[in-house]
Each structure stands twice: as structure tokens, then as C-alpha cells.
Amino acid sequence: MADDFPISLSIQLREHLRALRKQQRLTQAQLGKRIGVSQARIAEIEANPGAVSVEQLLLLLATLGAGLKLHVHAADQPMHSVAEPGAAFIPARKQGSW
């Protein structure tokens, strides 16, 4: 069964990214090696996930066994700003690569 973690602001990704990495028992250096970036880059992404490209974020999530799901709100539900649409993490069963 999949768990959903609603995200409406990029800052909320910080703890999710760290938790996903730690759930896999990976250090920042180990994760960086898996996806071809430095430990420092992983630290930057975890500290400021809003500054990473969507492509890089999606590849990182896939490597951690997660994905991103876009959720369209019903007309009677409050909308998030255009710059920060609502999204949720959907853990994936399939591992991706960088």
C-alpha cells in the first residue's frame, strides 16, 4: 500500500528527502555516488530542494524509490498559488537511476 505525503511548498521536501534517504540507510555520500553527484550536492538538495531542477528532483526521488504526483484540486477546494501547486510523494516499487 502506498503512502501519500501532501506537499504544497518546496521547503516541505527537506524532511521527506532526508527521511527517504535514511529509510534506505544511505549516507549523503553513498546516495551521491549512486546518482553521480557529490555528497555536497546531496546536502545542497536536502537543504534547499526548491533550488533543484524538476528533472534532477524526479531522478533523485526515483533513486530513493519515490515519485511525484500532481494533484488537481476540485473547483470548490482552495487552490495553491500557481508557483507552488499541490503535489504528493508516492513511494514507488521500482528503483530508478540517475
pLDDT 10s digits, 11-45: 888 989 999 999 999 999 999 999 999 999 999 99
- 96 assigned to some structural domain: no
Residue type, 39: Q
Angle formed at CA 71 by CA 86 and CA 45, multiple of 5 degrees:
50
Residue 64: CATH number of its domain: 1.10.260.40
**DSSP reduced 3-state for 11:** helix
- 97 assigned to some structural domain: no
- 44 assigned to some structural domain: yes
* Per-residue CA distances from 88 to 29, 36, 41, 92 (Å): 26, 26, 23, 12
25 is in which domain, residue-wise?
Answer: 5-91
- Report field, pTM of the whole predicted structure over 0.85: no
C-beta of residue 98 within 8 angstroms of C-beta of residue 36: yes
pLDDT 10s digits, 78-98: 555 444 444 444 444 344 434
- 13 assigned to some structural domain: yes
- 40 assigned to some structural domain: yes
For residues 24 and 21, what is the distance between their CA atoms, to the nearest angstrom? 5
Q: Please give the pLDDT value at position 79.
A: 53
* Domain total in the chain: 1
pLDDT 10s digits, 44-79: 999 999 889 988 899 899 999 998 888 787 776 655
